[in-house]
Amino acid sequence: MRAIVSVFSKDRIGIIADVCAVLADMRVNVLDLSQTIMDGLFTMVMLVDTATSDKSFGEIQTALARSGEALALNIRIQREDIFNAMHQI
């Protein structure tokens, strides 16, 4: 399943590395990535594919939430469909 991972945080060194490590651990494949600093806030959206992972979407969601707490990141994963529905005809 294709999904969007979004990450917001105070900027620091290694955020992308941290998030990618968590995803790699679960064998979630990163397809695309866009990152910027908006008003001093680290902002990243990633397109990922969860089909390569042996974990369920719910398990990935829980693991990311737990990592988010540990790494002090606001991180979530949502199915890509919701963004396609809103922005693509």
Q: Which residues bind other proteins (CB under 8 A)?
A: 4, 6, 31-32, 34, 36, 38, 43, 45, 47, 57-58, 61, 76-88
Minimum gap (Å) between residue 16 Cβ and other proteins: 14
| Alpha-carbon distance values, 73 to 1, 51, 58, 84, 88 (Å) | 23, 24, 19, 25, 29
**Of 51 and 85, which CB lies nearer to other proteins in the complex structure?**
85
**Of 6 and 29, which CB lies nearer to other proteins in the complex structure?**
6
Q: How far apart are CA 74 and CA 84, in angstroms?
A: 22
